[in-house]
Amino acid sequence: GDLRKDKHVGQTQTQQHTTASSHDTPRGIQVVSMWSGIHDEASAAREQGGLAKDAAESGKTLGCEILDFILQPVAGGKLFQLLYYLLAFGLIGFFAFTVYQVAPEWMEPVTTVTTVFNEQLAYPDVYLCIPAGSMVEIYEGRRDMVFAGGSNDEDHCPVTMAFLAPDLNSRVSGEDECVGTVTAGHEDPNADLVKFGTTAVPVGNDVKELVEMLPTAEVDGTVYQSACYKFQPNKVANFDLRTAVRAIFEYSDVGNEFTPYYELFLTAPGVSPIDTRNGKTYVNASQLLGAGPGQFVLFELAVDEFKDETEGDEDFHKEYRASQTAKMNQLQGGTGDPANGDFQLGPISSTEGGVAFRFASHVVRQIHTRNKTFSEVWAEIGGLWAGAAAVMTMFFVGSGHLNKDGKKLSIFRYLPGSTRRKMLKGYAEDLTKEEQLEQSVAQLMQRVAQLEHANAGRGTEAAQPVPDSFRDKISESDNMA
C-alpha cells in the first residue's frame, strides 16, 4: 500500500489484459456476433461496389466529353480542322498535367472546424495527482496532506466533490451539495500520509494505471511515485447557471519552504486516461497544473471535440482547455516595520487549498479530420477539365449551324463577317424547337398571302376566301410560337 517502491523490484509493472475466449461465450451470442460481422462486411462491400460504380459512370461521362471535344466538326475546311485538332490535343495534355500536379493533394486529409452549442455539458472526470517530487517532501518531512472533501463544513462531503452556485460558496437551490465519487491510486490511503481523513477510499484500476505512467523520483535508492485521486462528479452544467464543482484539501506543517502543486488530468466522463495507439501506450487526457496549499484555484473550461478518421476514430473525443484564477488565503501578519520598508510577510496561515471547475462557454468546437471523398476529388477533376475546355472558346465558338450529320458546327472566332457567311453557306441553321415553329408559322402565313393574292387576281366572283378554320389554326400556331 506504500507509495514508495524498492529500486530492485522495478519501477514499472506490466499491465496484463485478458480477453475471454469463445468457450466462455454462449453459443447464441457467438452466432449473432458471426452474422453481425458478415452483415457489416456485406454492407462495406456494397458501399465499395457503389463507389466503384459511381467512379465508372463518372469516368465514362468524362471520357465521352473528351471524345466529343476532339471530334467536334469545324467549318472552313481542313486547315481550320487541323488547327482545332492541335489546340484540342494541346489542351488535353494541359488537363492531364494539371491532374498530375494536384493528384498528391487527394491523399492529404481534410480538416473542418464547426461550432456547436450545448445546453448541457457534463463535468469531466478529474484525476488530481501530487507529483513524485512533492511526495519525496511529504515522506521525508513527514508532512500530512488530507483531502477534506468538497464542502467548507467540517465532516461534510468527506469523500465527494461539492456542487456549488456561481459564488462558489453556497449550494445550488434544490440540488444535493455532495456529488460524485472518489477513488484512489494506491491500496490503503488511511495508513498513508496522503489520505481522506478517516474515511476509506476505494482503489480504482484506472487511477493505478495513471500512476504507473507518470514520472517517478528516486532518493537514496528509494523510488517514489505520484499520489493520484480520481474525482468523478457525475453532474451536468446547464448553460443558464454558472455552477461549479469543488474539492478542498488540508495540509499540516506547511511553510513557505514547501509548496507542492497539483497535476490535473481531465477526461470525458467514464473515459480512461490511458490509451493505446499504434502499439504505444500513453496518457490521453487534458493536462493542467494547479497551485498547492494556501490557494483556491478556479478552472474555467472550454471543450473541443476531435475526430480523426485517418487514425481510425469513429466518434468524437473531448479535450479540455482552461483558464485559471487563483485566490491566496490569509497570511500570518509579518515581521519588521512597514514604515522603514523592511516588513516581510509571514507564512501562510491557512493550510487549506482547493480546486473548482466550471464551464466558461457552452459553445463546443468540433474538429473533424478525414480523407477526401470521391465526389470532392471528382469535382476537382471536373473543374480542371472545364478550365482546360474554356480555353478553346478563345479560338473557336459555336457557329449556330449544323453539319450534314446534324452535329453542331464550330467556327474560328476571328473571321471577317463575309468570310464567315461564305463558310457557313449551305449548312442548316441550328434552330431551337420554338424557332422552328416560328419559321413554320411564317412560311404558312406567306403561303396564305400568296393564295389570297392569286384569288384576288381572278375577280370577285372567282375569289375563294381562305376558310376561317384554316386561319384559326394559323393563329393558334402563332400563339404557341
Burial classification of residue 91, based on how many CB atoms lie within 10 Å of its CB (0-12 exposed, 13-18 middle, 19 or more buried): buried
Is residue 304's pLDDT more than 80?
A: yes
Among 408, 405, 401, 477, smallest CA distance to 445 is for 477
How far apart CA 161 and CA 436 sit, in angstroms, is 85
pLDDT at 173: 80
pLDDT at 16: 35
Q: Which residues of 314-336 are buried (b: 16+ CB within 10 A; e: fewer)?
A: eebebbbebebeeeeeeeeeeee
pLDDT at 264: 93
To 10 degrees, the CA torsion angle through 148, 151, 153, 155?
-40
For the entire predicted model, the pTM comes to 0.64
Residue 354 and residue 50 in contact, taking contact as beta carbons nearer than 8 Å: no
Bigger pLDDT: 136 vs 319: 319
pLDDT at 252: 58
Residue appearing with cell numbers 485538332: 85
Residue 410 and residue 399 in contact, taking contact as beta carbons nearer than 8 Å: yes
pLDDT digits (tens, 9 = 90+) for 339-396: 676 666 555 555 677 889 999 999 999 999 999 988 899 899 999 999 999 999 999 9
Which residues, including other chains, have CB under 8 Å from residue 203's CB and lie 6 or more apart?
183, 184, 185, 186, 187
Q: Please, what is the Cα angle at 265 between 260 and 266, to 5 degrees?
A: 140
DSSP 197: T
Other beta carbons less than 10 A from residue 78's beta carbon:
8
Among 447, 424, 394, smallest CA distance to 91 is for 394
| Average pLDDT value over all residues in the chain | 77
Q: Give whole-number Cα distances, 68 to 33, 97, 381, 389, in Å.
A: 52, 20, 18, 11
pLDDT digits (tens, 9 = 90+) for 54-64: 655 666 788 88
Q: 295-308 and 363-370: which strand pairing?
A: parallel
